[in-house]
Amino acid sequence: MPLFTKFEKLARDRTALLSSGIDPFGAPIEQIFSPTEALINGQRIILAGTNNYLGLSFAPECLRAAHEALDREGTGTTGSRMANGSFSGHRALERELAEFYGVRSCIVFTTGYQANLGMISGLTGPGDVLMIDADCHASIYDGCKLSGADVIRFRHNDAADLRKRLKRLGERVSSTLIIVEGIYSMLGDRAPLADIVAAKEELGGYLLVDEAHSLGVLGTTGRGLVEETNVGERVDFVVGTFSKSLVGIGGYCVSNLPELDLVRYVSRPYVFTASPSPSVIASTRAALKLVRDGKPLREKLWRSARRMYQRLAELGYQLGPEPSPVIAVTVDTREQALAFWYGLFEHGIYVNLVFPPAAPGDKSLVRCSVSAAHTDEQIDRICAAFATLKPMLASANAT
């Protein structure tokens, strides 16, 4: 097969997708006005798909810290953490994240994707078992592939199915890593974490929780679902990202297990990737303090999220199973979803368009993410656009 033959269908699909002149998977943001507004294709748009849950991307504390680090340490490290890329800020952030979670240690990675890739492939290898929720993120699946371990999926959010599969492993359960997410990024539902922890404790294995979309969102101090469900000391590893509530780029893993630090020496994504820029580390450290003290922001976020979820449910949209800052409308076909996305854009609303296989099942998603920075008026405008466009989906999405 010639090298590019496999791209022919993709090229045809992309040509059809771009027929309107706007790419829903790469719309250039021409100017940023605030955490919730931007100029796209010459139009002032409400941003409702950014994962900027606490709205901190323009926080003065973060901007000031980034500027100071840029002047003091330059633009980049030009090396990996294992070579010449561990600056004092990297170690300071690791200490602060460990203190934030009340655990022994932390590893900081260059991206959230790399955190999952590096931890999963560093912890497990051929002969080990990875027991993952079927709806886990692509970075988790890719980490599983890199590890070479045996991968077993259990039904989404089904602790009983997890128990059944753990029992079948017999002695192999001692070398099994269970992986779930705090808030799942597509439908916004939470893992039944207390039940999953109980299954792990009864039957064996280790548990890694990816809190990418729940960091800053859940828990009194924003530590995520592990704090919300009060199981932090019973979870072995927590992975997270800087690119959502911490409004930067990077990732981390925290743990009470002393072996965590050894992962630095065996994780190829960690060893062979340049470390985060000093300005990103500095702004993340500032954002972490705001997350920890951000209870009023979390309360505002959840008020807006529940309000929007309730309004879209009343309109008859098929949503995820529970209110969340991630609010996704399920649409039967790609064509409907694409037309609906364009309709929202024409009404001044930018959201995420998700096609299979990224979307669960064979459906497509029009996915919103609510921010604490959204005003009541902006939430009303978003809901009004959904109300106006409801006839586009006819009865297909009626509940």
Is 10-47+295-393's fold the same as 60-292's? no
C-alpha 312/C-alpha 291 separation (Å) is 28
pLDDT at 156: 97
Q: For 309-350, how does the pLDDT look when each residue is reduced to its tens digit (9 = 90+)?
A: 999 999 999 999 999 999 999 999 988 999 999 999 999 999
Q: For 97-154, how does the pLDDT look when each residue is reduced to its tens digit (9 = 90+)?
A: 999 999 999 999 999 999 999 999 999 999 999 999 999 999 999 999 999 999 999 9
The answer, yes or no, to whether residue 395 has pLDDT greater than 70, is: no
Exposed, middle or buried by CB within 10 Å (0-12, 13-18, 19+), for 21? exposed
| Domain ranges, ordered by start, for the chain | 10-47+295-393, 60-292
- Higher pLDDT: 14 or 217? It is 217
Residues 6+ apart with CB under 8 A from 262: none
The CB-side HSE value for 343 (13 A sphere, CA atoms) comes to 18
C-alpha 89/C-alpha 126 separation (Å) is 35
* Predicted TM-score of the model (pTM): 0.95
Choose the weakest-confidence range: 63-77, 93-107, 358-372.
Answer: 358-372
Residue range 195-215: mean pLDDT, rounded: 98
Q: Which CATH superfamily is domain 10-47+295-393 in?
A: Aspartate Aminotransferase, domain 1 (3.90.1150.10)
pLDDT at 399: 45
- List C-alpha distances in Å: 396 to 100, 319, 321: 45, 13, 18
In CATH terms, the fold of domain 60-292 is Aspartate Aminotransferase; domain 2 (3.40.640)
- DSSP-H helix ranges across 3-87: 8-17, 60-73
